[in-house]
Structure 1
Amino acid sequence: MDRAPGLSVRLKLTFSYAGFLMLAGAVLLGAFAGFLGDYRERAQDAGEVVIAPSGTELLRDFAPAAAGAIVFLLVFGLAGGWILAGRMLAPLTRLADATRTAARGSLSHRIELEGRQDEFRELADAFDGMLARLEAHVAEQQRFAANASHELRTPLAITQTLLDVARNDPNRESSELDERLRVVNARAIDLTEALLLLSRTDQRSFSRDDVDLSLIAEEATETLLPLAEKHDVVIETSGDITPTIGSHALLLQLTTNLLHNAIVHNLPEYGTVEVSTAVGPEDAVLTVENTGDKLSPHVVATLTEPFQRGTGRVRSDHVGAGLGLAIAKSITQAHDGTLSLSPRAGGGLCVTVRLPTTARQVT
Structure 2
Amino acid sequence: MDRAPGLSVRARLTLSYAGFLMLAGVLLLVAVWVSLVRFMPDMASSPDGPLSRTDFLRVFAPIAGVGMVFLLAFGLVGGWILAGRMLAPLARITDATRTATSGSLSHRIRLPGRADEFRELADAFDTMLARLEAHVEEQRRFAANASHELRTPLATTKALLDVARGDPTRDPRELVDRLQAVNTRAIGLTEALLLLGRADRRSFTREPVDLSLLAEDATETLLPLAEKHGVTVETDGDITPTTGSPALLLQLTMNLVHNAIVHNLPGPGSVWITTGVRAGAAVLTVENTGEELSPQLAATLTEPFRRGTERVHTDHAGVGLGLAIVRSITLAHDGTLTLTPRPAGGLRVTVELPTAGAPGED
Instruction: Normalising by structure 2, report the TM-score.
Output: 0.56
1:319 Cα deviation from its structure 2 partner: 1.5
Aligned partner letter, 1:344: R
Match of 2:248 in 1: 250
Residues 294-323 of structure 1 show CA distances to partners (whole Å, capped at 9, x for unaligned) of 111111111111111112234521211101
2:204 is aligned, of 203, 206, 226, to 206
Say if 2:350 is the partner of 1:352: yes
Match of 1:311 in 2: 309
1:215 Cα deviation from its structure 2 partner: 0.2
Does the C-alpha gap of structure 1 residues 277 and 130 become closer, same or farther in structure 2, counting only changes over 3 Å?
closer
- Mapped to 2, the partners of 1:131 and 1:344 lie a distance apart of 35
Aligned partner letter, 1:211: V
Does the C-alpha gap of structure 1 residues 252 and 181 become closer, same or farther in structure 2, counting only changes over 3 Å?
same
Residues 225-257 of structure 1 show CA distances to partners (whole Å, capped at 9, x for unaligned) of 111111111111000111011110000000000
Match of 1:51 in 2: none
Match of 1:183 in 2: 181
- Mapped to 2, the partners of 1:360 and 1:292 lie a distance apart of 36
1:134 Cα deviation from its structure 2 partner: 6.8
- Mapped to 2, the partners of 1:119 and 1:240 lie a distance apart of 49
Aligned partner letter, 1:285: V
Match of 2:58 in 1: none
Aligned partner letter, 2:118: R
Secondary structure (helix, strand or coil) at the match of 2:357 reads: helix
1:28-67 superposed matches below 5 A: none
Identity over aligned residues, as a percent? 62
Does the C-alpha gap of structure 1 residues 137 and 301 become closer, same or farther in structure 2, counting only changes over 3 Å?
closer
Match of 1:66 in 2: none
1:181 Cα deviation from its structure 2 partner: 2.7
1:8-19 superposed matches below 5 A: none
Residues 121-144 of structure 1 show CA distances to partners (whole Å, capped at 9, x for unaligned) of 3652784597499779969998x9
Match of 2:222 in 1: 224
Secondary structure (helix, strand or coil) at the match of 2:300 reads: coil
Contact 2:311/2:317, CA 8 A, preserved across alignment: no
Rg comparison, structure with higher value? 2
- Mapped to 1, the partners of 2:340 and 2:123 lie a distance apart of 37
Does the C-alpha gap of structure 1 residues 180 and 344 become closer, same or farther in structure 2, counting only changes over 3 Å?
same
1:120 is aligned, of 109, 117, 120, to 117
Contact 2:288/2:346, CA 8 A, preserved across alignment: yes
- Mapped to 1, the partners of 2:172 and 2:228 lie a distance apart of 25
1:343 is aligned, of 320, 341, 344, to 341
Q: Which runs of 5+ in 2 are unaligned?
A: 1-114
Contact 2:298/2:341, CA 8 A, preserved across alignment: yes
Q: How many residues align?
A: 232
Secondary structure (helix, strand or coil) at the match of 1:237 reads: strand
Range moving further from structure 2, 118-127 or 340-349: 118-127
- Mapped to 2, the partners of 1:258 and 1:197 lie a distance apart of 15
- Mapped to 2, the partners of 1:354 and 1:285 lie a distance apart of 5
Contact 2:271/2:289, CA 8 A, preserved across alignment: yes
Secondary structure (helix, strand or coil) at the match of 2:307 reads: coil
Contact 1:293/1:313, CA 8 A, preserved across alignment: no
Contact 2:206/2:243, CA 8 A, preserved across alignment: yes
